[in-house]
Amino acid sequence: MKPDQSESQVNRTQGGGSIRQLQKEATRRAIIRAARACFLTSGVAKTSFDDIAARAGVSRATVYLYYSSKEHLLLGMLEEDWEAQCELFRLLRADARSPDDFASWLQQVIAGYRTRRGSMGLYALAVAQSPEMSDRIDGQRDRLIAALGESFPALVLDEHSSMEKRVDGQLMVIQIEHVCLMATRESQESAVEAGIDLVSRRMAAFVART
């Protein structure tokens, strides 16, 4: 260490986070990836913390340090999926105006949902065990609206927005989610095209009114 450098300065990265923080985040992500793989392969009930630790390349104690239960692990997976969901919503182009523009974006979002379709059936336990899940879901929908607003200011909802516009925006997000979830189930494929058409026209009308 140079004489004019403190230990904290040495541990700093160019991105502003400490090496230790980055290592902890990398370990957390490794545990979540391992849990997802084990749960999808063997099921939640048959997967042990030893299985997850072995797949993640960490000790069993380390897994418990980050996640105290399988329900906690499932919530961690869900939060990771929610962040990926926000990234998909940020793909909407700021110049989107016509139903075709929104339909093209919806196809991108649907493709992202399909890559994670296997995990969706795992979350029932986490939802049942978390009494605050309704508030979490509402919060996620607010984040999705905010993600749309990052590239499309007409969709921004703030304290100045009317209650009608706020409810309209929330209902629109619920419809987007519903169409995307339908697209992850083969039995619903025939309804997906109609759903995309309806939601695309709804989004175009929403933007035209703002």
When divided into structural domains, the chain yields a total of: 2
Kindly state whether residues 7 and 50 are assigned to the same domain. Answer: yes
Q: Which domain holds residue 115?
A: 70-209
Same domain as 77, residue 45:
no
Residues 83 and 62 in one domain: no
pLDDT tens digits for 7-47?
444 445 445 568 989 999 999 999 999 999 999 999 999 99
pLDDT band, very low/low/confident/very high, at 3 (cuts 50, 70, 90): very low
CATH number at 170 reads: 1.10.357
CA 164 from chain center: how many Å?
Answer: 26
For 92, 98, 168, 199, 209, the CA distances from 205, given in Å and listed in that order, are 16, 9, 11, 10, 6
Please indicate, yes or no, whether residues 44 and 94 belong to a single structural domain of this protein. no
Instruction: Taking residues 87-98, report their average pLDDT.
Output: 92
Same domain for 57 and 136, yes or no, is no
Does the predicted TM-score (pTM) go above 0.75?
Answer: yes
Let me know whether 40 and 142 are in one domain: no
